[in-house]
Amino acid sequence: MTLPDSLTVLDHPLIRHKLHLLRDVSTPSKLFREVVMELTMLMTYEVTRDLDEKEVEVRTPLETFTARRLGGPELVVVPILRAGLGMVEGVLRLLPHALVGHVGLSRDEESLQPVEYYFNLPPDPEERRFLVVDPMLATGGSASAAVAGLRSRGATRVSLMCLVAAPEGVRALAEAHPEVPVFAAALDRELNDQGFILPGLGDAGDRLYGTR
């Protein structure tokens, strides 16, 4: 079955290399956190390809030159707690002036439905651009709820960056929010009966923080 055009899989040898380390069950939390950060940096380079720019005059040591720099309001990175937190630093290394909003969602392990427990955004969401980050797009319930929460608070420009996506989650998100571009490091095969991505990398939150 075809997948929505909203999905971009960032195919690159470095991305595949970092991802194989995350998939490996023997990778300990310390290395897992470092690799999530590095992978997020690599992905941020592509995900921010269409950021607004403006022209500025700069004086090089030799002459004056019209250069381009980032323009418009700062990007807002929005991690879905808790696993999304592992991706924030990778974005901030490249965009140190980005703001960080937080969306607290946990997945009810029986119904697989997301439950919202925290939501915090900077003022004037309608003027900003949001990048929701979460390592896993499984059923798509958490991402859809996060986007719905952002939209109900006035956000109009929202993208999602995840590490591993399941086809089911990509379709569910595109059905609920077709306007949201989704960037993934990999598109995996399927979900299992417990809503885990196969082959996946396990529970990203547990692996990042060593707790359940």
Evaluate the CA torsion angle 202, 205, 210, 212 in order and state its sign: negative
34/203 with CB nearer ligand PRP? 203
4/74 with CB nearer ligand PRP? 4
What residues line the site for ligand PRP (CB under 6 A)? 80, 82-83, 106-107, 112, 114, 134-143, 169, 195, 203-205
**Rounded least distance, CB 96 to ligand PRP, Å:** 25
**Rounded least distance, CB 132 to ligand PRP, Å:** 10
Mind spelling out the 3-state secondary structure of 10-66? Answer: CCCHHHHHHHHHHHCCCCCHHHHHHHHHHHHHHHHHHHCCCCCEEEEEEECCCCEEE
Per the CB < 8 A criterion, the answer to whether 165 and 182 are in contact is yes
74/203 with CB nearer ligand PRP? 203
55/131 with CB nearer ligand PRP? 131
Per the CB < 8 A criterion, the answer to whether 119 and 149 are in contact is yes
Per the CB < 8 A criterion, the answer to whether 140 and 107 are in contact is no
74/202 with CB nearer ligand PRP? 202
Q: Which residue lies nearest ligand PRP, judged by its C-beta?
A: 205
* 3-state SS, residue 141: helix
**Rounded least distance, CB 29 to ligand PRP, Å:** 13
**Rounded least distance, CB 212 to ligand PRP, Å:** 8
